[in-house]
Amino acid sequence: MPVKIRLQRHGKKGKPFFWIVAADARAKRDGKFLDKIGTYNPNTNPATIDLNLDSAVQWLHNGAQPTDTARAILSYKGALLKYHLDGGVRKGALTQEQADAKLAAWIDEKANKVTSKKEGLTKAQEKARAEALKAEKVANEKRANAAADALKAAEVTEEVAEEVTEEVSEVATEVAVEETPAVEEAPAAEETNEEKEA
């Protein structure tokens, strides 16, 4: 019975969540498994991996073959390094204390890298948020200035319209004053013409 260390998919559509399991190679992808070794969540940045290191190494010692993705995850978490160091201890190349010290140093270095990446991502998000806020302030100022300009233009238009209305009314009254005597003079002139004829 060949054993594989592989991923078993869980989670909803578009949001995958994987279990890292040791399963019979003939079993379905999401079917029966022998042992759950850990979890892998690729939805976060960086991806969240929770792995039982001792269980994974035990399965590797028992001959389980990891798939490509599972091998990358095991390497990322240090399971393959521990497996390699255990082989050196069995051969007598180094002691268990030396192997544990090397593994601890490697895990600390990896944790520092992950922490620095998270800090870099946080700084990048804060910088992007600050730039977006600055751009929004500039856009709001432009919008406010445009509204103020439109209000001034409307006031100027109203003043011009009032002046034009006043001028038109003055011209209309002047025309009415000029036309009224002309209308009165015309009948008077007709009356004088009628008197002369009579």
Give the integer Cα–Cα distance in Å for 22 and 152. 75
Give the per-residue pLDDT at 165.
Answer: 80
79 has a pLDDT exceeding 60:
yes
Q: For 64, which DSSP code? A: -
Give the integer Cα–Cα distance in Å for 187 and 176. 17
181 has a pLDDT exceeding 60:
no
Mean pLDDT over 31-35 rounds to: 90
Give the per-residue pLDDT at 150.
Answer: 86
Encoding tokens for residue 142? Answer: 């432009």
Per-state percent for the chain, helix, strand, coil, to nearest 5 = 70, 15, 15
Residue 194 pLDDT level (bands cut at 50, 70, 90): low
192 has a pLDDT exceeding 70:
no
Give the per-residue pLDDT at 178.
Answer: 65
Give the integer Cα–Cα distance in Å for 153 and 142. 16
